[in-house]
Amino acid sequence: MKKYNIAVVGATGAVGRTLLRLLVKEDFPISELTLLASARSAGRRIEFRGENLIVEEATKDSFHDIDIAFFCAGGAISKEYAQYAVASGAVVIDNSSAYRLNPEVPLVIPEVNGDAVDNHRGIIANPNCSAIIMLMALKPLLAISPIKRVVFSTYQAVSGAGNKAVSELEQQVRGYVAGSIPEAKILPSSSDDKHFQIAFNVLPQVDVFADDYYTKEELKIIKEAHKILNDETIGITGTCVRVPVFWCHSESLNIQFERFVSRQEVRDTLMNAPGVVLYDDPDKQIYPMPLDYYDEDNVYVGRIREDHTVIGGINIWIVGNQLRKGAATNALQIARLLIDKGLLL
Amino acid sequence: MKKYNIAVVGATGAVGRTLLRLLVKEDFPISELTLLASARSAGRRIEFRGENLIVEEATKDSFHDIDIAFFCAGGAISKEYAQYAVASGAVVIDNSSAYRLNPEVPLVIPEVNGDAVDNHRGIIANPNCSAIIMLMALKPLLAISPIKRVVFSTYQAVSGAGNKAVSELEQQVRGYVAGSIPEAKILPSSSDDKHFQIAFNVLPQVDVFADDYYTKEELKIIKEAHKILNDETIGITGTCVRVPVFWCHSESLNIQFERFVSRQEVRDTLMNAPGVVLYDDPDKQIYPMPLDYYDEDNVYVGRIREDHTVIGGINIWIVGNQLRKGAATNALQIARLLIDKGLLL
């Protein structure tokens, strides 16, 4: 089997580490692995398949002979270096938001719009984690009936704000038990002015505020969903909220189909949807919870109910691992899709 | 000033304790205070205004000379003893769900439908905590335009499931730090079969499951809102979720008015609504968070945004103290209203 030269930019971050774990776990066909990061993180050592790899500083010249470059280091690094990776002949799978809404860049969830990779020009964008998790459930449901409108409320894990946010929750809880909670420095967004305690709290701000009093996260979900579904007529609105959970995002969705849709139709459809697990048996208190999916790639759906306040109303509850299907797993699936389709440069 | 003989049934529970604190804090005109509970809790001592009061076992004969009996001990106790309290000449303010949907019993939020107390027959029901918090914001907004539909997603504190659930979160967090999390025994509902960890988790089940795959809590919000607003034409649907927060409930609401309503109209209206605090300035990261309202009676509203996916769409975020305005404060306000209106028996 052919093997590939892989670069991971941002190897020390939350998504980068998860990606490295998955490359091992799934026995990805790697010839050489190059770990890259900003100057700040360069020099660190990371164990990979028993070897101690040194993280190198990313430069223009880091991408010679690289086949696939995973960018997991934030938008600024992607904007600076993705072009050099492409010029060197690599395909970039970019986990940042830098290129997601660029009309020349495919924004891809393999189970949802895998064919969008066909026309790539060197960069493929990995969608926002909350958007991926939502669309894994919504896309199969579109086979039942067109959807008029979706109202979402999210319950997002701290991992979505990176390793430092994960540590922040951990330290706050340890501080609480010890009698003194350390000052918040990261959440809701490290780039914003004020920071608030996440332990024993929920923060109705994910990412910074943007247009029309929505946060960037809320607008990402809406705009990315429209692009991925290639349909801007579906009304999508909602509120993003950070909760004191480590790894998995949950979402409460109210969906309005164009016609009456029964609970059973939704169940039958999701039961056969790739990457989705129907986990829905109220009689046995079976529904998805974020604590249960630390080591999971699938998206779980439960609490499926008809909402009779509108024609075609359905309420559902979905949970997915933010770092896995919400980030690293999806990126790796894109890489495999490129290989399968012979679309590497 | 006239003083009243007060009984508190369920004085040792989460709501009962909060009520006792408020009776002191607000210097309620008490002549004699009788503390009652089930046989299980009788005999405990509770300090009140420097005195050590003994909790007595509630019996048929506990209510002689009582003017106002606050029932805070759950539906079974209310169903058993409220009748005797009324027969003894007391007015019962019942915090349980036992009588809430009884057409002969007023279900009252003083700022929303205070006049409903006028025709009471001895029992007045205190609404569900999530319903109170939601309606404190919705009722004033009805002055702008009729509302067609509301979609709610809740972020509910453990205090709503009682003192034992508060301890459960506390013990799980302490266990986590110490290296071993004790088994869940209370949440999502002490009366249900399975129990799940709440620390670092969210549970999409509040109370037990009921009709049509909705939980009782979800149906309470819907049915109680219809009764309190005296309008069953407003479509209300949503999902109730428990989060690892101690005291305050948060709710994400998507509201659909009958006509276009601007963000400014919503702000102007809520700024003048009694018991509501507008806390909404995204530029300064000002929005309500449950950690901030441990000692608060008001309901806070923020994240007000127009939702252009429907005509008349508005998203808001509301937070209220579950034990205060969601329970004890509202009960006490009902008592004051009865006194002001001369409606004690």
Tens-digit pLDDT profile for residues A177-207: 999 999 999 999 999 999 999 999 999 999 9
In a domain, A61, yes or no: yes
| Residues B63, B165 within the same domain | no
Range of the domain at A17: 4-127+327-340
Q: Which residues of B touch A289 (CB under 8 A)?
A: 196, 201-204
Nearest to B309 among A149, A246, A305 (CB): A149
A173–B contact, CB cutoff 8 A: yes
The pTM of the full predicted model, rounded to 2 decimals, is 0.98
Give the H/E segment covering residue B341.
Answer: helix B329-341
Average pLDDT over residues A114-127: 97
Residue A147 Rama label (left phi>0; alpha psi -120 to 50; beta): beta
Give CA separation, B279 vs B165, B262, B282, B295, B318, in Å: 29, 17, 9, 16, 9
Taking an 8 Å cut-off on Cβ atoms, the answer to whether B245 and A290 are in contact is: no
Verify that A318 and A333 share a domain, yes or no: no
Catalytic residue list of B:
129, 249
Is residue B9 within 8 Å of B81, Cβ to Cβ? Answer: yes
Specify whether A218 is located in the same domain as A303.
Answer: yes
B237-294 pLDDT per residue, tens: 999 999 999 999 999 999 999 999 999 999 999 999 999 999 999 999 999 999 999 9
pLDDT score for A82: 97
User: Does residue A150 sit in the same domain as residue A212?
Assistant: yes
Q: Are residues A296 and A164 in the same domain?
A: yes
Residues A137 and A257 in one domain: yes
Residues B123 and B182 in one domain: no
* pLDDT higher than threshold 90 for residue B40: no
Average pLDDT for B224-235: 98
Q: What angle do CA B39, B44, B46 make, to 5 degrees?
A: 130
- Which amino acid is located at A259 in the chain? R
Which residue of B285, B304, B311, B314 to mutate against A (max A Cβ within 10 Å)?
Answer: B285
- CATH code where residue A166 lies: 3.30.360.10
Within this chain, do residues B190 and B148 fall inside the same structural domain, yes or no? yes
Q: B275 — contact with chain A (CB < 8 Å)?
A: no
Contacts of B5 (CB under 8 A, 6+ apart): B30, B31, B32, B33, B34, B65, B66, B67, B68
Provide the CB-side half-sphere exposure for A26 (13 A, CA): 18
Chain B contact present for A226, CB below 8 A: no
- Tell me how far apart the alpha carbons of residues B62 and B69 are, in angstroms, rounded to a whole number: 10
C-alpha angle with apex B65: B62 to B68, nearest 5 degrees? 85
Chain B positions in Cβ-Cβ contact with residue A290 (cut-off 8 Å): 201-202
Is 90 exceeded by the pLDDT of residue A249?
A: yes
What number is the ipTM of this complex?
Answer: 0.97
Q: Averaged over A262-283, what is the pLDDT? A: 98
Q: Find the CB nearest B285 among A205, A235, A243.
A: A205
